[in-house]
Structure 1
Amino acid sequence: MPMKPKRPCSYPGCPNLTDGRFCPKHQKQVNSSYEKYGREKATKKRYGRAWKRIRDKYAAEHPFCELCFDRGIIVPTEEIHHKRPLSEGGTHDRSNLIALCKSCHSQIHAKRGDYWGGRG
């Protein structure tokens, strides 16, 4: 299957070519900046070291997007999603988690109105 051509990093002034939005060097900077300035403090507390361990273990046990896999499509897991959000009383319990690709994860949040002019 042909791959998309690489494109310039979206970080201002960076000439590096990348497959994603940012080159690996700037992706780390952007993530750090988001964690420091973009996320609410209450949210940061819910997604600490314990969540990272739970997420990594769940992703290792579910290597493919569960929604795509049900449709017969094999797509690697990129996100671990809470079926019932923590802000609405959900927990990190395994029964509340689902492994998703970025596309399915975005669709779920778009339907909820979380990203595009809705709740957040």
Structure 2
Amino acid sequence: MPYRPKRPCSYPGCPNLTNGRFCEEHAKEEAKRYEHYQRDPVTRKRYGREWIRIRNQYIAAHPLCEQCRKHERITPAEEVHHIKPLSLGGTNDFDNLMALCTSCHSEITAREGGRWGR
């Protein structure tokens, strides 16, 4: 895999360099903010400890963005997407999951009418 230089943390004013969007110092803070303001309690309950365990296993097995690979790009996966959403009867089975970079995940979610596309 080609070398990817670290980039500045996206947290305002943070000088730390990171491979992801936020440095370790701000990643948990941003995740908490995301959960608090953007997910209702029913949805939050579906994404508890069990989901985190499944997500981590899936990312370990699929470390590259599956969408980017279709376009011959090599991008680390940062998120796991449910192909059929849990709210529509989807499951956490590996055949219903897809490893994506943040950009691809946002694009698919908006296209499907999820959060940002509403």
What is the TM-score normalised by the length of structure 2?
0.77
Identity %: 48
Aligned length: 114
Please name the residue that 2:69 is paired with: 69
Structure 1 residue 86 and structure 2 residue 86: aligned?
yes
Distance 1:63 1:9, change over 3 A: closer
Deviation digits for residues 73-104 of structure 1, max 9, x if unmatched? 11101100000111111110111000001111
Please name the residue that 2:14 is paired with: 16
User: In the aligned structure 2, how far is the partner of 1:92 from the partner of 1:5?
Assistant: 32
Query: SS at the partner of 1:99?
Result: strand
Contact 1:109–1:115 under 8 Å retained in 2: yes
Contact 2:16–2:23 under 8 Å retained in 1: yes
User: In the aligned structure 1, how far is the partner of 2:4 from the partner of 2:65?
Assistant: 22
What is the TM-score normalised by the length of structure 1?
0.76
Matches within 5 A, 1:1-120: 6=8, 9-10=11-12, 15-18=13-16, 24-36=24-36, 38-116=38-116, 118=118
The offset of 1:109, in angstroms, is 1.1
Which segment is superposed worse, 28-37 or 81-90?
A: 28-37
Unpaired stretches in structure 1, ≥5 consecutive residues: none
Larger Rg, first or second structure (1 or 2): 1
Unpaired stretches in structure 2, ≥5 consecutive residues: none
User: In the aligned structure 1, how far is the partner of 2:80 from the partner of 2:10?
Assistant: 28
User: In the aligned structure 1, how far is the partner of 2:7 from the partner of 2:85?
Assistant: 36
Deviation digits for residues 21-43 of structure 1, max 9, x if unmatched? 76643442232244345421101
